[in-house]
Structure 1
Amino acid sequence: MRQRLAPGELLALALILLPLAVALPRLWLGYGPGWGGALTLLGRLSGMLGLAMMLVTAALSVRLPALDAWFGGLPRLWRLHRRLGFGAFMLILLHVLLLAFAALPQSLAMAVTLLFPPPADWLTWTGWLALLLLVVFLAPTFQFFGPIHYQNWKRLHLLSVPTLALALLHTLPPLASPWPWWLLATLAALALLWRKGLSPWLARRPYRITEVRSLAPDVVELVLRPERRPLRHRAGQFVYLSPLDKGLAAGRGEEHPYTLSSAPGAPELTLGIKALGDASRALQSVALGSRVLLEGPYGAFFEQADPGRKQLWLGGGIGITPFVAAARELDAGPGKEEEVVLCYLANRPERAYYLEELADIAARHSSLRLAPHYVSERGPLALDFLEQQCPDFRERELLICGPPPMIHHLLRLLAGAGVPRAHIHTEAFDFL
């Protein structure tokens, strides 16, 4: 079953279609008969739709806390952002090809001149320059040249500003009703101004590292004390952390997303961090007392589930952290009425980072039942384990967080068991 469109996704779709809806009555006029006229019309439509998608994609980069809930959480918003960016890229390429093919019935020379006119035709050349910049900053996103380097990717994305300006310059002069484009351009400009210029100064909150707890040779939990007004969060949310420790081998001043493992309302925040890259590896030895900046919180992991149904939690790797936050909230509060089963998926017992603490919480609260599963002993999770530990799992809301391969395995397993896709909610930080 497909997920329903979130309100934010519906709004993004409406904004994309707005310029076409305004321009469509006039677009039908002035095109000759036959394939040439039809291809010219389709070429202009694809170019306009591609530009509208680019502008909405830029507007979606605003990353305001709480706004991501309109889109079903920040991971889902980022997926929409990437899909719209790729769709815009393909539509703009199609725009060029359709206009070229539209001129071919007249002559090959006419098609070449249309694409590569004399230098005086500056509108066409601004379009080519915009397309060149689009290729430069989008190619790493879609891994055309190998894995993404996070900071290089962020720097290249600054090219989106001149790209959009040149694309608008290429598009606006021939238009009779440019106001929808100015609306989208204003939204995109405000989003980029906030994200690149203002948010580093206005949205980030300073914290101090008071403790670094070693959970495994490559996993730590940072304990953070606020220097000013503390950040308020819900279980299942995450923040972007920028460490300022001058002694870090990598990642100083860079922002990366990490899930909060602390209970909501706790006096100090905690973050579980596994060494998955240069920045997270450097944080394993971050200096006590050093400052970090936090931006957020983001995410709506537990809010996706139907509150009227029992839940089954499936967490693996560092993806156990949202469930740790929820278990700590249970331990600090009045307790849940409905039973929750937590399947802790780990390669082997020593990789179950929070197992002892979770077992203690489960011992104190009958509403939480813990079921560890070790791949080294039982192989990948199978239906017989779920049937044994949670016989009614098909009727529950299932929340899954962990590495992408684990999530893909579980989605196939649960689909084969007849679990409705609408009852399954996932979170994986395989986005930037």
Structure 2
Amino acid sequence: MFRRIRAGDWIVVVLLLLPVLVAWPRWWPRPGAGAAEVLSALGHLAGVLGLSALLVGAMLSVRLPGLDRWFGGLPRIWTLHRILGFAAFILIMLHVVWLAFGALPISPEAAIQVIFPPLEHGAVWIGWGALALMLIFLAPTFQFFGRPHYQRWKRLHLLSVPAFLLAFAHAVMLVEHVLLWWGLAALAVAAVFWRKVLSPRLGRHDYTVDAVTALASNVVEITLAPRGRAMSHAAGQFMYLTPHDPGLEAGRGEEHPYTISSAPGEDVVRVGIKALGDASRALQTVTPGTAVQIEGPYGQFFERCEPQRRQLWFGGGIGITPFVSGARALQREPGGGPDVTLIYLANRPDRAYYMDELREIAQGHPHFDAQIHYFQDRGPVDEAFIRAHCPDLAEREIYICGPPGMVYHLMGLLSRAGVPRGRIHTEAFDFL
């Protein structure tokens, strides 16, 4: 995921290090300084960098369509956001510990006074409040107590707002260069304000459920018709869907990411949805005619390649949907596009949701071939099966979307087959 440095990465690095570069001259240890002074300096700088990481992480929550391309996709932004949150927590813990050890040579009492001063030293206790809130909302994110429920995690994550406000207040009460911190905080607040307040009103498109088509047990394709401003998308992108059907047993008013299965340029938007949780299970029976909102599009699944290099697609489970979108896009341009081979990995025939349509598209398109592999009959797909249908696999741009076990198996198989890692692309949706 981080094989290539993106433009967004440089923005993150600059925003992270700018406060450190400004603050460093003040805290630089004097020549010949002892361990206590060095630890104290490191403690202050860890606090500066920790707050920077917290504020930049908040900025990355903005989730603007198109901005994700600067970072290589929304999943990659989420990974950066999570890394920054964890780094902020560790750095702020080091900030406390190093400051205490820096005062320890004076006396144990002095060390305790640094981190637990009298109550009138409000700035320090505000900092403790920020750290406590960080511990509460970060613990589920790092799955200290198992994988959390998605919506409970989202509500608990709202504690990040008072946490970084308290951390900011702690900083501006104790440091110089307050204008710099105000600028960073303003960017963070603007990102959160857009995400939580403005985006639900201004960043979503109004649609109506036009049809619900059963594809298999617990799998449907929902067709959505625009009620105003339509959303355009490219093949392989995904969106957030918020249903407002009052009859839903779960998920009403909740946003969840789903890959778009319709071709670019269609008058409607289609999504394939498998019952994997309470919300997606409820959507199996969403009522036609009810209102939904969609937000996006996000992702660049099919853009990370040499445009005319031949491609090999592996789709499994509901991970077939970006390839259905890609195949439908090819169908709308007979004779166009790169040479593509799709290998559909399914457990058994009744779980090959779109196979009949994909075969029909392949019959009418000279550069598209669709093959099926059934786990029930053959076990895990092997190199011999792949080479039988795609002898030049090592020369192709390869795309994989499906269950984690399938992705892991294919990554190892393709690596052993001599496929360069830079030509293998996967998509992931985890707490987006």
TM, length-normalised to structure 2: 0.97
Q: How many angstroms apart in 2 are the aligned matches of 1:403 and 1:162?
A: 36
String of CA shifts for 1:149-197, please: whole Å, max 9, x gaps: 1111111222112111110111123322233322211110100110111
Amino acid in the other structure paired with 1:211: A
Q: How many angstroms apart in 2 are the aligned matches of 1:274 and 1:374?
A: 19
Matched residue, 2:89: 89
- Runs (5+) with no aligned partner, structure 1: none
Matched residue, 1:234: 234
Check the 8 A contact 2:29/2:41 in 1, yes or no.
no
Q: How many angstroms apart in 1 are the aligned matches of 2:189 and 2:99?
A: 29
Q: 1:337 to 1:295 in 2, by over 3 A?
A: closer
Matched residue, 2:375: 375
Q: 1:161 to 1:431 in 2, by over 3 A?
A: closer
Check the 8 A contact 1:225/1:269 in 2, yes or no.
yes
Residue 395 of structure 1, CA deviation: 1.3
Query: How does 1:73-84 map onto structure 2 within 5 Å?
Result: 73-84=73-84
Matched residue, 1:391: 391
Q: How many angstroms apart in 1 are the aligned matches of 2:18 and 2:351?
A: 51
Query: How does 1:14-413 map onto structure 2 within 5 Å?
Result: 14-28=14-28, 33-413=33-413
Amino acid in the other structure paired with 1:283: L
When structure 1 is superposed on structure 2, of 285-294 and 333-342 the one drifting more is 333-342
- Higher relative contact order structure (alpha carbons within 8 Å, sequence separation ≥ 6): 1
When structure 1 is superposed on structure 2, of 322-331 and 307-316 the one drifting more is 307-316
Check the 8 A contact 2:338/2:367 in 1, yes or no.
yes
- Secondary structure (helix, strand or coil) at the match of 1:234 reads coil
Residue 2 of structure 1, CA deviation: 5.8
Amino acid in the other structure paired with 2:321: T
String of CA shifts for 1:246-286, please: whole Å, max 9, x gaps: 01000000000001100101011100000000000000011
Q: How many angstroms apart in 1 are the aligned matches of 2:94 and 2:386?
A: 48
Residue 431 of structure 1, CA deviation: 3.0
Task: Figure out how many residues of one structure are paired with residues of the other and give that number.
Answer: 432
Q: How many angstroms apart in 2 are the aligned matches of 1:351 and 1:109?
A: 68
Q: How many angstroms apart in 1 are the aligned matches of 2:176 and 2:263?
A: 56
Amino acid in the other structure paired with 2:171: T
Q: How many angstroms apart in 1 are the aligned matches of 2:392 and 2:158?
A: 50
Q: How many angstroms apart in 1 are the aligned matches of 2:274 and 2:337?
A: 33
String of CA shifts for 1:344-379, please: whole Å, max 9, x gaps: 111112111000000000011120111211111111
- Secondary structure (helix, strand or coil) at the match of 1:162 reads helix
Amino acid in the other structure paired with 2:261: S
Q: How many angstroms apart in 2 are the aligned matches of 1:32 and 1:107?
A: 21
Query: How does 1:3-18 map onto structure 2 within 5 Å?
Result: 3-18=3-18
Amino acid in the other structure paired with 1:284: Q
Check the 8 A contact 1:209/1:289 in 2, yes or no.
yes
Identity of aligned residues (%): 57
Residue 88 of structure 1, CA deviation: 1.3
- Secondary structure (helix, strand or coil) at the match of 2:241 reads strand
Residue 33 of structure 1, CA deviation: 2.3
